[in-house]
Structure 1
Amino acid sequence: MQNAGIKGIGREYIRFVVPSVIAMMISSVYIIIDGVFVGQGIGETALAAVNIVFPFIFLTMALTLLIAIGGANVYSFYKGSGDMAKANNVFCQCVALLIALGLLLGIPSFVFRRELGLLLGANSDILPYVTAFLAWAAPLQLLQSLTLGVSVFIRNDDAPGLVMAGTIAGSLVNVVLEYIFIMRLHKGIEYTVIANNIAMLVQGLIFAARFVFRKGQLTLALPRFRGFDLKRIFANGVSTFLMELSQSTVAYSFNLALIHSHGTQGVASYAIVTYICAIVYSVMIGVSQGAQPLMSRSHGGGDEKTVYRVYKMGVRTNIAASTAFLILCLILGKGMAALFQSGNSGLTDSAAHMLRLFTPGYIMIGLTLMNILYFQTTERDRYSTVVALLRCVGFVQVLLLILVPLVGGNGIYPAFIGGEACNAVLSFVFVRRAVRRSIPAGEIA
């Protein structure tokens, strides 16, 4: 890729990013359908319960991506420099870490599910639904950690199409099972988790076939744990962890603000917004996941100009996607919100209003995601960690503490948009500084 032309980079970008975006889009669609089934089939209290549990689910994903993205960047660096033995050992070390993570999260979340529900902010109405959900979430922690983590490596093993196929298959299985369990058999909220478990197992089996039939360069073996590799994995992945954890901390902060200012309906409205905004967030995650192998491999080969070109393509894609989504929500926001409940016009109006005020912030998030990816793939870990930490417990939370006491629950909207704008501007300034240091001024296109 060192001497690839601009057209060649564009073709590679499309080959990796398009399947990644499609896979994430399908995944977001099944998340939305999940919300529609819960809202229509069980009720708004169950919908609020799912949103209460979301921060814990985001924590699982954050820790998984800490290992997977950090490991995949190190894997691609070794692969780009031609050392496949070290690259494969990084993969094996990460698989062992992912298994340990799933067990460490799953067992306590089952044993202490009531205490966890209270910690997440559930009130007396919501708590029974939360504990029922968490009772079946334990195996999901292990399945999700392994499946999501391994999919990142498969994409870096030049198989983005397989990741797309596995994700689509798992999503379709989940939708069918939830329709049967919730809409036809009228089962409770725990059956949404049972469907998730089965779907994740199907997805994992599809990925496992690649190793059984030895289709790629990745092979499963007993890992040789190397302190140097582990340090690079965690140093490189910590920003992804913090960025994903920020989804959890922001949701947790907003849930607390809303449950005190607007009660259960306020949390249910925010749950609807979270489901709908999963569409654009999944697209932007798909863009960054698709761009990551190209950027990491180019950095490993010493081609910093290609790293920057792919970064710029990702920024443009994310801005275009988030702007189109904002326009869609302004036009169709009320109709989208109405899908998630039955007969409660007040909930629809509240969710539609909230949706229109939240979506501008996602333009800023798209830029921040690509800025952090640039730091990760060029191994500027301090920059990526600082930006991700500020998004996790920084500008948004500070503005919440200032604005909510002043203007009540409505303060969450300017806090969200203002905080994300600060993150985007600061990270962009860091990227420009890093680019000037790595690429001669006359060669920055």
Structure 2
Amino acid sequence: MTTVNAIETRPVRPLFFSYLYPAMVGMLLMSVNILVDGIFVSRGVGATALAGVNIAVPIFSVLLSISLWIGMGGATLFSISLGEGNKKRAHQIFTLSFVMMIGIVTAIIAVLLFNLRDIAYIFGADHTTYPYVQQYLYIILLFGLFYTIENLLSIFIRNDGSPKLAMLGLITTSVLNIIFNYIFIFILDYGVKGCALATALSTIFGMLVLFLHFFNKQCELKFVRHFFAVIDMKKIMTIGFPSFIVEASMAFIIILYNVTFLRYLGSDGVTAYAMVNYIHAVLLTVFFGIGMALQPLVSYHHGAGLKKRLIALLKIGVKTAIILGLSTAIIAMLFPSQLIGVFGDKGSAEVQSMAIQGFAYFAIGYIFLGVNMVFAEFFQSIEKIRLATTIMLLRSAVLFIPVLIVLPKIFGAQAIWWTFPVVEGLTALLIALFIWKSKYGIKE
């Protein structure tokens, strides 16, 4: 049975879960990689080196956001084309996406390398941290193209019916990253350079695992000579834009939280939020995994015109998000101290107490987060880009900024923790009202 036939004929529920588990594991491993780098650098090099790496990470995130932007946009069109039975266009879309990403990422890397010092200082480096930023980021940028290729291939391979191979590539990267970090930092004493080399080499091996997909007889990821079309470039950039917003807004949200906590609770508040954010960064990727699993299936069924199965996929995605969100919120409210103890830095008793209490409030937002991500991904996957972009902007700016400003002014400093659940709850409410009143109602 071909991949196309399997997608169209397999029962919707097992089909969805066959994509869900690999996507969630893969996204989780991506976030764990960042934590692993921080642990090895802090213990093997020192606190100042860790600060340097943390300054470099948002710059590196620029490359990830580009690969997500083009990858999700291109992969959506790719799956829609397969659903329409137009394999020739699917091949053209894949080739165009690959070439676009290489061109854009190469240009960005060149600009960053030639202006490394200035950019590092803009992102918060000073004379003590810059040497570490420079050592880490220089190597990361030299190998940055491999990282974006791995991410792009992972997205397309998932859309080409091989979610387990996409997961295997990310598992390979994560496991080797731990091994190489230990060798380069603790055995060879390469310092921050060792951490960067570990990331680079593990990424290359993970990418090579993904290339095994091209030896699959059912592979539809094929490079073709005649692929360039301006209209397709515009569609890729337009469809992928909501994914770019998700990645790009994360740094923006963290900065606003830090500024607000500093104003109302001082440096202790910033530290408490950092502890909570370590947990949040991991959990966030798990919820993103639901959308990542939904996207290739929704795009294909949209292209094939299988509306009944399309709506069934949406319902399963929403139910999964609600169950996962409720479970996460309940666990966080019952065991906040245990979670903070696992992921958080060991600070003063006052900071620990602040983080524990804050996370119990903060975690209520997970009840709504998954649902919001499912609808955003659903609309993006059926080319309703304005709706998907609106949901993302509501979460990251339109509602977030005023709520973050108003809540602590009215209810005091502790209300800062309520920003996340209030914003996600309001976004979910607006989505529900839109679904109820519009032609996108969930009806068989």
Q: TM-score, normalization: structure 1? A: 0.86
RMSD: 3.3
* Aligned residue in 1 for 2:423: 419
Q: Which of 142, 146, 149 lines up with 2:145 in the alignment? A: 142
Native 8 Å contact 1:280 1:322 kept in 2: no
Q: Do structure 1's residue 66 and structure 2's residue 69 form an aligned pair? A: yes
Native 8 Å contact 1:374 1:431 kept in 2: no
Q: Which of 31, 34, 52 lines up with 1:28 in the alignment? A: 31
Determine helix, strand or coil for the equivalent of 1:158: coil
Q: Distance in 1 between matches of 2:157 and 2:294?
A: 14
Q: Distance in 1 between matches of 2:380 and 2:346?
A: 47
Aligned residue type for 2:284:
Y
1:382-401 aligned at under 5 Å gives the runs 382-401=386-405
Native 8 Å contact 2:333 2:361 kept in 1: no
Native 8 Å contact 2:278 2:343 kept in 1: no
* Aligned residue in 1 for 2:214: 211
Q: Deviations over 1:72-122 (max 9, x none)?
A: 111111100111010110000000111123223323333333433343345
CA deviation after TM superposition for structure 1 residue 165, in Å? 0.8
Q: Deviations over 1:358-390 (max 9, x none)?
A: 322233221111111121122212211222223
Q: Deviations over 1:122-157 (max 9, x none)?
A: 577655554444333313532222111121111111
1:241-320 aligned at under 5 Å gives the runs 241-258=244-261, 267-320=270-323
Between 241-250 and 350-359, the greater mean CA deviation after superposition: 350-359
Native 8 Å contact 2:33 2:174 kept in 1: yes
Q: Distance in 1 between matches of 2:6 and 2:169?
A: 33
Q: Which of 10, 33, 53 lines up with 2:13 in the alignment? A: 10
Aligned residue type for 1:367:
V
* Aligned residue in 1 for 2:367: 363
* Aligned residue in 1 for 2:204: 201
Q: Do structure 1's residue 374 and structure 2's residue 341 form an aligned pair? A: no
For structure 2, the 5+ residue unaligned runs are: none
Q: Distance in 2 between matches of 1:311 and 1:376?
A: 13
Alpha carbons of structure 1 residues 205 and 81: separation in structure 2 relative to 1, 3 Å = same
Q: Deviations over 1:388-426 (max 9, x none)?
A: 223232211222233456778655322232222222222
Q: Distance in 2 between matches of 1:180 and 1:291?
A: 38
Native 8 Å contact 1:396 1:415 kept in 2: yes
Report the number of matched residues: 440
Q: Distance in 2 between matches of 1:384 and 1:368?
A: 10
Q: TM-score, normalization: structure 2? A: 0.86
Alpha carbons of structure 1 residues 3 and 69: separation in structure 2 relative to 1, 3 Å = closer
Determine helix, strand or coil for the equivalent of 1:359: helix
CA deviation after TM superposition for structure 1 residue 211, in Å? 2.4
Q: Do structure 1's residue 93 and structure 2's residue 66 form an aligned pair? A: no
Q: Do structure 1's residue 115 and structure 2's residue 115 form an aligned pair? A: no
Q: Distance in 1 between matches of 2:75 and 2:129?
A: 39
Alpha carbons of structure 1 residues 409 and 131: separation in structure 2 relative to 1, 3 Å = farther
Aligned residue type for 1:401:
I
Q: Deviations over 1:245-270 (max 9, x none)?
A: 22222123223444666676655544
Q: Do structure 1's residue 151 and structure 2's residue 154 form an aligned pair? A: yes
Alpha carbons of structure 1 residues 103 and 316: separation in structure 2 relative to 1, 3 Å = same
Q: Distance in 2 between matches of 1:147 and 1:340?
A: 27
> What percent identity do the matched residue pairs reach?
28
Determine helix, strand or coil for the equivalent of 1:17: helix
Q: Distance in 1 between matches of 2:203 and 2:335?
A: 31
Q: Specify which structure has the bigger relative contact order, considering alpha-carbon pairs within 8 angstroms and separated by 6 or more residues.
A: 1
Q: Distance in 2 between matches of 1:261 and 1:184?
A: 44
Q: Distance in 2 between matches of 1:408 and 1:58?
A: 33
